[in-house]
Amino acid sequence: MSNEAAALEERKYWRIWAILVSLPLMSLAAQQTGLGWLAITVSLVVMLTSTWFAVTTWMHVHLEPRYIPYLCIMGLAGMFMFFFMVSPDVMNHEGNNWKNPSANAPAHIERPVDPLKPRGTGVEAHH
Amino acid sequence: MSGQIIATGRSAAGMPTGKLAVWMVIASEIPIFGGILASYLMHRIGHPDWAQMTAGLNVWIGTFNTALLVTSSLFAMLAHAAAERGNGPLAAARLRLAAYGGLVFLCIKAYEWYTKISHDHVPQTGTFYGYYFSATGLHAIHILAGVAILLAIAAQAEKGKHLGRVELIGIYWHFVDVVWFFLFHIFYIIR
């Protein structure tokens, strides 16, 4: 690689660095507005964009053999499988042939709650 | 046999053995960090009251740490570029800068932990702090390991040895950076 080509390549890395530093600042600005939905939306976009930039331009995943991205996608698939298999048990208080009585414990005990329902003591559920 | 044979590449894999190992480590780390974050998110959705605890985290320190880690990753990338040109001493200097970035990150994280613990916010305080300390602690262990490897490879690169390893630690270091993007947004930004 010639010196000019190398300098050009390094300038590209600095540009990506500038993007990756400014993206979290956008998230910070969104959070400081106090609008929860805006912070969540911007965070999701920034998380995915930053990851895309880092993985493609710094880790050069597209230059690796095709099975490498597949290997990483399999890891992600495992994570999603875990999430969708476990989350119903964590976020619901009862299901087919099971109940989670501790979820209806008094309010001072930290417990999972249904964000769509108003919070109570949990005692009403038994009556 | 007089010489020791060390496998550095495999034709079936289509890449150097070390690089394949790094990618396998990364692929196995994805469900570990992803599992913690997914588990945290499902609990977070069920606990709107955790917003008070996330508000206690210093978002400015988190943002500074993000910029620091991205800068550290940049130096790892620049070290790779120098190694590709065969410039070992320059690659070593840049790897050391990347390692120092990681060390400063750890010092700031230790300060954050110290302030939390001094206010009796420990993993036993509640599930939120359990997740916070587990996720950031696991990430900090990865940073610590990365710093040690960066310095070890820098020492080799300085002598012009094993320049191919500069790229390998770079890939790992960028991955640690990517994990932090998620930790930063999920713990510090989304309240």
Q: What is the ipTM of this complex?
A: 0.86
Residue B33: both structure tokens together: 């960090």
pTM tops 0.95: no
Residue scoring higher pLDDT (B52 or B73): B73
Q: What is the dihedral of CA B33, B37, B39, B41, to 10 degrees?
A: -170
Kindly state the average pLDDT of the residues B11-28: 87
B-contacting residues in A 9-68 (Cβ below 8 Å): 9-10, 13-14, 16-17, 20-21, 24-25, 27-28, 30-31, 36, 39-40, 43-44, 46-47, 50-51, 54-55, 58-59, 64-65, 68
Taking chain A (127 residues) in runs of 10, the rounded mean pLDDT of each run is 79 93 94 90 94 90 89 89 80 80 60 50 42
Residues contacting residue B66 through CB under 8 Å, at least 6 positions apart: A21, A24, B180, B181, B184
Token code pair at residue B128 = 């939120």
A-chain residues near B127 (CB < 8 A) = 110
The closest of B186, B190, B47, B62 to A35, measured between CA atoms, is: B190
- Contact check, Cβ <8 Å, B81/A10: yes
How is chain B split among helix, strand and coil, in percent rounded to 5? 80, 0, 15
The CA distance from A87 to A13, in Å, is: 40
pLDDT of residue A110: 53
Residues of chain A found within 8 Å of residue B15, distances taken between Cβ atoms: 64-65, 68
Q: Which residues does residue B15 pair with via DSSP β-bridges, in sequence order?
A: B10
